[in-house]
Structure 1
């Protein structure tokens, strides 16, 4: 025998106190405002959201122990906070008791009547603080630059300029000058060659710190995430790191350009960690002080590049795949997300480079480098967590990059991403061998 609607009713209670409910009501539908206008016969009803679920009901407590149960229900109704209401028709609800009435009737002995009102108990969403890791990287970069300038000035103050050897300094700083040429293009007009760089340090040691101080005070960033950017053009370097760009344009912008530029500069940091031991004590001290300043300045520049990388918002999946000819006329617009593998590789290499640099730092500068390292690693970890992973994919046959991108992502415009990621010689022929592609 099938259960009837009466059998499906739940025994009513609030906070475990049982009672009977002969009738109940709750608003449904939409609340709103009716607009009526003069000289117009058609009103307009403006919907303003759903009605608040305010439960109003009549409750009976019947029996020889009605007074005892009545007092328990009163205590439950007057206890602050939410509680569970078992509604016969609607099930279990989290509510807060509102205005209620209690009545007794001499002719209805052994029964207490309540008119109850319950409001929905939605848990309050407590405000949560979100750490701005981008701002932390910027602040730690500025602190590192200040500490680096102070360390350079302190070191050069102890150097006897009369004992500096031009030939030894030029040979020892040749690698440092190469880094300046690649990473700080505006300085090329100041230092024409390695000899001029060494002469400048010998004649005016403070000029180098002044140059870096002025450079970063006017630093406007690489604009990797600007639509009109030609990002990363200062260094003239190249890298095999490519992001999962929606457009697949192949230009070094966005995450791809930022990761490639930062990776190239990280290699420069490691290349000048120490200078060759040529000349006397003063020559070596001056050369190492200059190398340390250039190394720290490259790190500061990397920090500013890294700070431009936002934590990505994941794109919505493509529900319906448009035809290739339609995508050619109207390409799919998807937000760019980083490739987690590239960001993690950059994070680990940069972490190692900063750690090596900190081993030769004095205690004060060590703290600045360590703080910088921690904030950069923290931000790059957050960026990587918002990115996509790479997976190994073997095409079933030799395909064009366009066909492979269309089959894999439903987006033919990502063909350039396939070519760049795997250094395919010709976009029309992707061989049937394992290649790296974004997971989505």
Structure 2
């Protein structure tokens, strides 16, 4: 860009700039008191210069997602784009060399600086590039060219409280998005008749049958006993005695539970799951365009009932993860109706899996980690399921589900990171010879009363003879 020609009009006297402004205003139909009085004297880090003009870039940061066999892409908005300023200016006068040196020194200072732009005003910017031009025929005059970007303060990631409510809201959002994508796919397939409806029924029956079988898992039944008051020793564990708890994720029950009350609660929970399964069965058999909302609500009812039937959050995550792996095995053909049946089967499977993942996230928000390592382990397990489903939904073009999964992922990470940050980490301890738990608790924690806690964590053959290397809480 040739900026020398424009500069010649203002060389000579100090009043040249104001005269030029008045002349331009007259030609453009304005007045110097309107636009030109709003212009600010240009400077960088307090060093003034005359601005001749400039250019800039602005907009949004967009990521383009293109899918096979889909005509229109999806554009993901990642926030405002970086603002870039390119400024052309000059310094002039008998002391032009000193002015140039001051401007060069300002450009070479470390960090961001304050730019006063004639029209943008004051901005905190970082100088990306600059150069100056000296011409013999211009005399007391140096041209400058700057390239700035507008920056902000250095912000580090901070722990924020997510809590179960935020995870619950994100899980509800996933259920809504999954239902929307299911309806979009299933409504087309339903039009092919009873065979397609039968595919939905058989897929639903297989899924809720698996759910009922998982709830009858022996470990889940055994966990009921750990809610009884008392200490059953380090091998059986207890949810009400933290030092010997082999199930630390369970909530401590101080309500005086009995075998009868726990049996009644478990029986009621299984009855609720049976009722939810029956509701899903009926909704599947009556599935059409007018009842599709009933079907998706019934699916969520089954996962909620299963979550309620597993009182220990760790067990809930284990059983629900098994349910999320459910894969319908119904055979289909390559005919038009067979293809529609396969589409319905796949849509049902996606809906079931996403509802299950939402319940897993809720169970994770109820889980009480024992250490920061435990919180990271649970976070990794849940994120593996979410990430895999994000890949599936992205490949299928289910944008609503993808966005809901991303929100759920953020909520789970924030929740477990926040709760795990306040917990001690696990550490490997090494000793020369086997030592008893009382001695080790005194050496490690300066508190012999934590001996039972060490026994629970290290699980030695005998509390008097710990292995020479074991893992326990660092503090």
Q: TM-score, normalised on structure 2?
A: 0.43
- Give the structure with the larger helix fraction: 2
Q: TM-score, normalised on structure 1?
A: 0.46
